[in-house]
């Protein structure tokens, strides 16, 4: 059975997550733990990275089920700070080993992995070599660790042009055109992920929210067909689906709070998640 890892954090979602929100529960859904904080070297909550702070974070969080570690290596300016790479590698490995030592959790590492060749959503990337170097670095860091890689399976529809005023109109989504682009992207993403991270289990990150890279507000609910495209791609290309959703982010990615479960509930019904 294809596993669906529930890493959502909606306001009002039952403590048991999506599986506990429906009767009967969707098949294959397991409650996971999304950790987007402990890898950072300086964090407003946990202070400077250390074994002690990491252990306190794990003890406080009491994670159960699969662990989804978000390291956002696509945001690391590796060429500008080469002296920090050894420390970064050690930090990521330490966190993975701490979670693996708990013995009952699968661990997946998310880092914004997306294809570096041809086009990404119709645009030629001008820093392909930098992107490739980041993921080769991560593949080296994770090579000897029994962790999964979490691919960036989000639909990012064409929205407001970058730099447009926040109040400017958002173009109507052309669902058919976006679905075609996404299917091609998904195929390339799967090929890229298997090539760069050979032998790793592949989790596919999805969300029914409009990703901020589209220029749309983060809390925009995607059309149902584009949400289903993500879920179908996960089953077609990956070993597990990783559900993300809940954080309310500003245009610059600043955390503003948590979105209401009631706004997204229909996107997680058993009939939708099970295809």
Greatest distance between any 2 Cα atoms in the chain = 53
pLDDT of 44 reads 38
Burial pattern 33-45, b for ≥16 Cβ within 10 A else e, equals bbbbebbbeeeee
* Domain residue ranges in the chain: 3-273
Euclidean distance between CA atoms 3 and 240, whole angstroms:
5
pLDDT the model gives residue 124: 42
Q: Tell me which residue of 153, 139, 71 sits closest to 110, measured CA to CA.
A: 71
How high is the pLDDT of residue 36?
A: 77
30, two tokens: 């397991």
Report the predicted TM-score, pTM, of the whole model to 2 decimal places: 0.87
CATH for the stretch 3-273: 3.20.20
* pLDDT score at 33: 87
Q: Any idea of the CA torsion for 170, 176, 182, 183, to the nearest 10 degrees?
A: 180
d(Cα 171, Cα 23) in Å, to the nearest integer?
Answer: 37
Beta bridge partner(s), residue 247? 258
pLDDT of 121 reads 46
What's the angle, vertex CA 29, arms to CA 273 and CA 99, rounded to 5? Answer: 135
SS3 58: helix
Q: Give the pairing of strands 47-48 and 67-70.
A: unpaired
Lookup: tokens for 169: 């109109």
Distance CA 37, CA 15 (A): 21
Give the dihedral of Cα atoms 62, 66, 70, 74; nearest 10 deg. 170
Radius of gyration of the chain (CA): 18
Note the helical H segments in 157-212. 175-196
At 198 the three-state DSSP class reads coil
Asked if 189 and 114 count as a contact pair (C-beta separation under 8 A), the reply is: yes
Contact status, residue 190 vs residue 150, Cβ threshold 8 Å:
no
With vertex at residue 113, the alpha carbon angle to CA 150 and CA 174, rounded to the nearest 5 degrees, is 100
Contacts of 194 (CB under 8 A, 6+ apart): 202
Helices 128-142 and 85-100: angle between axes, nearest 10 degrees = 50
Q: Are strands 3-6 and 240-243 parallel, antiparallel or unpaired?
A: parallel
Q: Residue 194's CB: how many other CB atoms inside 10 A?
A: 16
Residues in the chain with pLDDT < 70? Answer: 39-52, 57, 59-61, 73-83, 104, 115-130, 158-171, 212-214, 251-253
């Amino acid at each position: 059975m294809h596993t669906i890892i529930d890493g959502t954090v909606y306001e009002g979602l039952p403590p048991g997550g999506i599986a506990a929100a429906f009767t009967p529960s969707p098949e294959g859904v397991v409650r996971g733990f999304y950790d987007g904080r402990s890898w950072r070297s300086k964090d407003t909550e946990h202070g400077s990275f250390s074994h002690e702070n990491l252990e306190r974070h794990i003890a406080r969080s009491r994670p159960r089920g699969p662990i989804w570690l978000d390291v956002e290596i696509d945001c690391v300016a590796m060429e500008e700070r080469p002296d920090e790479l050894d420390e970064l590698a050690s930090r990521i490995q330490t966190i993975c080993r701490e979670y693996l030592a708990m013995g009952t959790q699968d661990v997946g590492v998310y880092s914004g992995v997306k294809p570096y060749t041809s086009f990404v959503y119709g645009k030629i990337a001008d820093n392909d070599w930098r992107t490739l170097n980041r993921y080769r670095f991560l593949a080296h860091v994770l090579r000897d660790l029994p962790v999964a890689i979490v691919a960036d399976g989000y639909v990012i529809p064409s929205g407001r042009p970058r730099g447009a005023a926040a109040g400017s109109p958002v173009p109507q989504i052309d669902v058919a055109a976006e679905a075609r682009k996404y299917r091609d992207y998904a195929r390339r993403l799967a090929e890229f992920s298997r090539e760069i991270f050979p032998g790793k289990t592949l989790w596919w990150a999805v969300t029914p929210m409009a990703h901020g890279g589209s220029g749309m507000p983060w809390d925009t609910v995607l059309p149902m067909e584009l949400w289903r495209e993500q879920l179908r791609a996960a089953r077609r290309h990956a070993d597990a689906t990783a559900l993300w959703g809940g954080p309310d982010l500003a245009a610059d990615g600043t955390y503003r709070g948590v979105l209401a479960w009631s706004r997204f509930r229909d996107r997680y019904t058993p009939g939708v998640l099970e295809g």
